Each structure stands twice: as structure tokens, then as C-alpha cells.
Amino acid sequence: MDQKVKSDIDIAQAAEMIKMKDMVEKLQLHEEEWEPYGHYKAKISLSVLERLKNQKEGKVILVTAINPTPAGEGKSTVTVGLGQALNKINKKAMIALREPSLGPTMGLKGGAAGGGYSQVVPMEDINLHFTGDIHAITTAHNALAAMLDNHVHRGNELKVDVRRVTWKRVLDMNDRALRQVVVGLGGPLQGVPRESGFDITVASEIMAILCLATSLKDLKARLAKMVVAYTADEEPITAKDLKAEGALTLLLKEAIKPNLVQTLENTPAIIHGGPFANIAHGCNSVIATKMASKLADFVVTEAGFGADLGAEKFLDIKTRAGNIDPSLVVIVATIRALKMHGGVPKDQLKEENVEAMKNGLANLEKHVETIRNFGLPHVVAINRFIHDSEEEITTLTSWCEQKGINVELADVWAQGGQGGKALAERVIHEIDHGERNFQYTYEIDSSIEEKINRIAKNIYGAKGVDFSPQAKKQMAIFEKNGWGDFPVCMAKTQYSLTDDPTRLGRPEDFTITVRELKPSVGAGFIVALTGNVMTMPGLPKEPAAMKMDVDENGKALGLF
């Protein structure tokens, strides 16, 4: 393949988009059910869900992956490509994706909304301010922080212990200098000094809530429950105690509406919500997935990181919150990542190495088992990269066939929907004929400890879990506080099935250490931390922002 490779932004800017007023007509939306944001973005009113409440829902296809390389496995690219391919084989399909965060765009990434000929557009808008949802979350989050500090400053009736404030502030920015700050300096007119910090907005509990809420009413009920601080006696103080939930809901009343855009091939795509995949569940919104399933026969959606994190959370958390009944899981693997799991150093992944790839297959095998254990039909999609050799591909497909694993090559990056037709046909076939007996990893009313144990053993393949004394104490307190019946959201490295990012492949005979728990009471899950999680990234030495620009006609430059 020595064709000249065009950059993502060049391909995206050359796209022939159709206007949203035409797109909504194809989707048979009524005039009052949508609002344009520019000619190529729209928001869909939640009233559509009400109008179509008795309509049969489309089949939900989840795209997940093996444990990825640092560059990722291309889940978004395969998701977009598969959606395009389904339309090419005359299925009515829609895509539901997460919204990228602007902060990392300014840092390392430069931009992300699929890749090559499987992208969502308008790419610049999606990577910059889009329809303002993340800004609305930033505003709501910080309004609550301001109300909390104002409460403390003006008499502190609720007896907030300033050493036990858990609600930080957020910005959609990679800004390491804000990770740990002291606020309230300057004397009695400037508030009460205390230690605090900033997270990136997508790590806000409000983002997780927006993505799990099923209606405006549910959104408000969840916002009210958020715990922001504790008293000296460790009694939780909530957003409702601060009388903030009405204003926060008001600030989010547009953000809760899903955003409609399109792929390079004019397949309708909803991009809505993008919570972290470690301290949160890493999926686009329930409302987006529901909306797409009402407007199409097939919905292709994704979840962050590998199947041990994203798919587990999609299946154990999101499907419960949204009453979603998934039909099939696509497991994305790349030859590169398999070689990495087989021991190849990261700078040599472009070189052919069939033996190493074979050694790495154990990682894929584990994730296939995981999805089997969920009782769902599945297809492995090999996301083709330019440097993959024919022998590597053949070896991989033969291995899958020997093992009775459904596999298809997806060349969607280079060929768009056309390169995903075989995958699309296979997906349809498996939905129609595959065995299906969906079950969760754990019972929701089992103890927090039991839930974590089941995830560690059944999903990661661990022999057990070590809980720190702090975690044990917290489990007792949380259950006393009435938070015992929440699902668990594991915060673990994405690079390994273990909690050690250097242990690749399919490690055995390991334990998971749960250091600390955090309640996300509004989102409705308990976060179990197995290591340090970075919730405010930093900028690299040469931030991508330094190369960004815009020409005199307003055309974006330097997003890639």
C-alpha cells in the first residue's frame, strides 16, 4: 500500500455532507422534534422517545476491544465503519458514539472521531465545542462548587467539614497545574481556605449522570443525590441539601438532548456524552442509544477501553440503567496489539512477527470468553492497519476458525463502509442465528465485595481480590449509607487484564488490589480504585495546540 495517505482532517473536510434538515426527514422526525446547530449538527428532542414508546427497538450492537496499545484499537473507526457497511447492505443502521473531550485535543491527540474513511463529520466541530454539551457540564459542575463554597462562607449551616469536601471543580482542559490547588485565600472576604483541585470535565460525575439518565426528571433526581462533602461526623451532604439540583438541571436542559451528525457516507450518527472509562462507565448516553434504537433497525455503539472495562460496564451498568437489551458484541483486535501482547516492544509493532502475534492471541481468547460468559453472540473484527502482513492476517483468521470464533477482517479505515461489508453480513447472521442468553456478571443486591470479586474473577481471570483496610471500612460505611445496591465501576488500567499495566497477554494467578472506593451516588455506582487514576491530564512538551490554526475563511488547520 504505497498510496498517498490523506490525513483524517483532509478526508473529513472533503466530505459531502447532507444538511440536517434533509437528514431528519429521512429519520421521519417531526418539525418540532429537532433543532439545528449549524446546518450539519442537530439536537433531537426527548419527546421523540415518548412518541415512539410503543415502537419496537432496533438491535443494539456493542463494539469493544482487546486490551489496546496506547494508540488504541480503533473501536470508533470500526463502529463508524460497521454502521456505514450495514447501510451499504441495505440495513437501516445508526451509530451512537461518545463525544471527544476538547482538553486532550489541545494536548496530544489533535482530534478524534473515527479515522480514515470511517469518520463522523463535521470533524472540527465535533472535536472543538460541538453543541456545547461539555461546556454545559463544566458550568453545572462549577456552579455547584461555587454554591458549596458560598454556603461554607456564609455561615455553613450544613456543617460542611472543609477537609471532607469531595466535590472538586472541572475544566475541559489538560491543565496539570490545577490538579492540586488551595482556594479561598485572601482573607475573610474571599471565602474559607481549603485544599481542592480540578478534574477534566469528562471526569465529572455530572457527565456520568447525563449518560445514565433516562429523562429530564431522572436527570434531576440523580443530580439531587450527588454527594459533595461530609460533615465532621462523616454524614454525606448532597446537591439537594444545597438546593442546587433545579439550577443544575436547567443548565443541562439542552445538553441532555442527543446530537445528530453523520458519517463520511451520510450514515446518521448520534454523538452524545463521553464519561471517563475508569472512574466512570465510558459509554455514550443511554438516551443516545435509546434514541438510535427507536430511529433505526440496528444501532452500532461503543464502550471505552477493552472488553474487561468498557464492555463489562456497558453490560453491567449501562444496560441496567437504560433497560437496554444488547444483541451482539463486536470485539476489535489489531495485529499490532496482538504482537504487543506477544512481547514485541512498542517501537517494533510495524514489523511482521507471526510468532509474537500467536503468543498474543491469549488476550483475545480471554475477551471472547468474557463475552461468551455474558451469553451474547459476538464477532471478532480485525481492524486492518497498513503494516499488517497477509500471513499475520491469515494466521489470525485461521486460529479463530479453529477455535470456533467468528472473525472478519474490517478494512474500514482505508475503504469506509465498503471495507466492512463482510463484517456487517457476519454481524447480521450472528444476530439472527447466534446463541443468546444475556446475563449480568453479578446480582445487583449482592454485597459490594461480592460484586468486585465476581468482576475480578469472571472478567479479568484473577484468583481473588485484596481489599485495603480503607476499602473494607468504606464498603461497610457505603452499605450503611444505603449505597450497597449500586453496581460497581472498576477503575483499572486499560492495558492489562490485571491492575498492573505492564502485564500483557493473559496473565494468570494474580490478584486485584482495591485500594479505595468512591461513591458516585447520583450516577448510581460505586467506583473501585485499583491504582492511581489521573483525572486531570497534563499537556505534553509540544502541545498539539501549538500547531493549530485557522485560515482567513475560518477553515480549521492542525487538527489531525
Query: Which residues inside 33-52 make contact with a copy of itself, applying CB under 8 A?
Result: 35-39, 43, 46
- Residue among 33 and 466 whose Cβ is closer to a copy of itself: 33
Binding flags for a copy of itself, 254-273, as an x/- string (CB under 8 A): x-------------------
The whole-angstrom separation of Cα 198 and Cα 276 is 15
* Contact between 146 and a copy of itself per CB under 8 A: yes
Site of grid cell 433526581: 221
* Contact between 543 and a copy of itself per CB under 8 A: yes
Q: Which of residues 17-36 bind a copy of itself (CB under 8 A)?
A: 35-36
Q: Is 385 noted as a catalytic residue in this protein?
A: yes
The whole-angstrom separation of Cα 288 and Cα 21 is 19
Site of grid cell 477503575: 491
Cα–chain center distance at 456: 20
Q: Is 463 noted as a catalytic residue in this protein?
A: no
The residue range among 240-248, 364-372, 440-448, 471-479 that interacts with a copy of itself, by the rule CB under 8 A, is 240-248
Q: Is 413 noted as a catalytic residue in this protein?
A: yes
Given the residues 12, 43, 77, 525, the one annotated as active site:
77
Reported as type and span, the H/E element at residue 59 is strand 59-65
Given the residues 276, 298, 374, 413, the one annotated as active site:
413
- Residue among 220 and 506 whose Cβ is closer to a copy of itself: 220
- Residue among 129 and 372 whose Cβ is closer to a copy of itself: 129
Cell numbers given for 338: 496482538
The residue range among 92-100, 213-221, 226-234, 371-379 that interacts with a copy of itself, by the rule CB under 8 A, is 213-221
Given the residues 19, 109, 179, 320, the one annotated as active site:
109
The whole-angstrom separation of Cα 341 and Cα 497 is 11
Give least dist CB 22 to a copy of itself, A.
14
Give least dist CB 52 to a copy of itself, A.
17
- Residue among 250 and 386 whose Cβ is closer to a copy of itself: 250
The residue range among 225-233, 266-274, 355-363, 543-551 that interacts with a copy of itself, by the rule CB under 8 A, is 543-551
Site of grid cell 466541530: 125
Q: Under DSSP, is residue 434 helix (H, G, I), strand (E, B) or coil?
A: coil
- Residue among 86 and 251 whose Cβ is closer to a copy of itself: 251
Give least dist CB 532 to a copy of itself, A.
11
Between strands 556-557 and 549-550, the pairing is antiparallel
Cα dihedral 196→199→203→204 (10° resolution): 50
Binding flags for a copy of itself, 124-143, as an x/- string (CB under 8 A): ----xx--x--xx-xx--xx
Q: Is 193 annotated as ligand-binding? A: no
Q: Which of residues 481-540 bind a copy of itself (CB under 8 A)?
A: 538-539
Taking the CA atoms of 247, 527, 500 and 67 in sequence, report the sign of the dihedral they define: negative
Q: Nearest-CA neighbor of 74 among 409, 314, 392?
A: 409
The whole-angstrom separation of Cα 190 and Cα 77 is 48
Residue 292: DSSP 8-state: H
Residue 473, φ and ψ in degrees, nearest 5: -60, -45
Which member of 246, 343, 375, 482 binds a copy of itself (CB under 8 A)? 246
The whole-angstrom separation of Cα 324 and Cα 317 is 10
State the amino acid at position 420 in one-letter form.
Answer: G
Q: Which residues of 100-122 are buried (b: 16+ CB within 10 A; e: fewer)?
A: bbbbbbbbebbbbbbbbbbbbbb
Given the residues 98, 225, 290, 339, the one annotated as active site:
98
Cell numbers given for 441: 456478571
Give least dist CB 168 to a copy of itself, A.
12
Q: Is 75 noted as a catalytic residue in this protein?
A: yes
Cα dihedral 410→114→502→391 (10° resolution): 20
Q: Is 503 noted as a catalytic residue in this protein?
A: no
Q: Which of residues 157-176 bind a copy of itself (CB under 8 A)?
A: 169, 171-176
Give least dist CB 552 to a copy of itself, A.
6
* Contact between 188 and a copy of itself per CB under 8 A: no
Residues with a known catalytic role: 75, 77, 98, 109, 277, 305, 385, 413
